[in-house]
Amino acid sequence: MKAYELGFGESADKLTIRPGKPIETDLPGARVAGWCGGRAPGIGTAAWPRSPVTGLPMTHVITLELPEDYRRKGEDLVALSFFHADDHVADDIEGVAELLEGTAPTAEQAADPFLAAVAATAAARHPQQRDLEDLIGGAHALLWLTAEEFAAPRIDPPADIRPAGLGDRYSRGQNAWDDSAPETTVWLGERTGDPNTGGGPDGDAAGQPGDRAASGHGPGGGSAVGQDLGWQTLDVIRRHRSTATRPRMPMPHAPRRSLPRAFPASLPTTGHRHTAESAFRPSIPVR
């Protein structure tokens, strides 16, 4: 198994470690692997994930084509998309959670343009969507994509139809209408010379005992950067800097550029929402 680095920018010879940041990185042989911010992949506008608290469309954080050895959900699922709501302190919009869980709208709700759009999202839910909740209660959505969906034209968020009485930014969380970052190309380059490559979460790759906390790869290691543009939710990328990283770590924090050791082969099947800790714990170690 190989380890990879992510770079952000519109030219392979001028990549940065985070979108819009001045710190550059060198990724020899890097290839285009997706994009972050802006539009979502071609999943259909109605299927754009929404916050279960406010019903507003989540911001699109990143869509990434995975290397073949990271496609653990199946050979036909070649990429994934990550969405973020930052709604842990947002005000609940009555009826949204039940509608997104599939409850049929009442006549009154069906006559409300906003709630009708929320109900349409539930009906069009992507078959590979998994809803996640971080440790402070913020909602996220992870979607596995086919090659056709990844290659399809990118889509804009749903029409901006807002509920009556929507509060300020603090009380509405983040959403695709107000808070989307500019689209930036994501590049993928192989990391070479890493002795941890191919090691298990608790293994001693290259014969060296692991000290995750000291190295910055484990709970308590590493450093948090600013929480701008929704990137604090991509701890699943920032924390998993090498293939020997334990994928059970707290969220949210800003990411660094490494691709996680492995994405989960399966997720819990009870209900729609799962904690980020359980969702990103691989069910089968990859050696």
C-alpha to C-alpha distance for 41 and 82, rounded to whole angstroms: 11
pLDDT, tens only, 218-265: 333 333 333 343 444 344 344 333 333 333 334 443 333 344 433 443
Whether the upstream peptide bond of residue 255 has omega within 30° of 0, thus cis, is no
Residue 31, beta-bridge partner list:
188
pLDDT, tens only, 176-220: 999 999 999 999 998 877 777 776 655 444 444 433 333 333 333
Residue 63, beta-bridge partner list:
35, 81
Give the pLDDT confidence score for residue 216 in this predicted structure. Answer: 36
Q: How would residue 3 be classed by pLDDT, with cut points 50, 70 and 90?
A: confident
Q: How many residues does the chain have?
A: 287
Does residue 115 surpass a pLDDT of 90?
yes
Residue 24, beta-bridge partner list:
16
pTM (whole model) above 0.85: no
- Cβ distance 251 to 278 under 8 Å? no
Backbone angles phi, psi at 119, to 5 degrees: -65, -35
Residue 155, beta-bridge partner list:
40
Q: Can you read off the two tokens belonging to residue 16? A: 């940065």
C-alpha to C-alpha distance for 120 and 102, rounded to whole angstroms: 10
